[in-house]
């Protein structure tokens, strides 16, 4: 599910920081990349997300076949 604005924040001329924070919220930039580009700490990133009514990006990891196999073996008691 794509991360969306919780409440639209109209801005006709978004700043570079607006664009970077939106990329982070959208999941196309990591917090480390954002921090490196802006000098913001993670706490400051959270504040900037809040100012723009943006939520933290969500990660939904999918298991690999190797992970599934390992889990199945563990559940069977290592057979």
What's residue 1's pLDDT?
43
Whether residue 8 is contained in a domain is answered as no
Angstrom distance (rounded) from CA 45 to CA 66? 35
Cβ(20)–Cβ(38) below 8 Å: yes
> How many domains does the chain fold into?
1
- Residues of the chain with pLDDT below 70 are 1-11, 78-79
Whether residue 75 is contained in a domain is answered as no
Whether residue 19 is contained in a domain is answered as yes
Q: Where are the alpha helices (DSSP H) in the chain?
A: 16-25, 31-38, 42-51, 65-75
Taking the model in full, what pTM does it have?
0.61
What count of residues does the chain have?
79
User: Domain residues for 28?
Assistant: 14-58
Hey, what are 20's tokens? 């970077």
Whether residue 9 is contained in a domain is answered as no
Q: What share of the chain is helix, strand, coil (3-state, %, to 5)?
A: 50, 5, 50
């Amino acid at each position: 599910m794509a991360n969306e604005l919780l409440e639209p924040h109209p801005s006709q001329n978004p700043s570079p920081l607006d664009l970077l924070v939106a990329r982070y919220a959208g999941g196309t930039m990591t917090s480390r990349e954002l921090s490196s580009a802006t000098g913001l700490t993670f706490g400051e990133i959270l504040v900037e997300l809040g100012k723009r009514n943006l939520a933290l990006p969500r990660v939904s990891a999918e298991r690999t076949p190797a992970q599934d196999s390992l889990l199945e073996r563990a559940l069977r008691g290592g057979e």
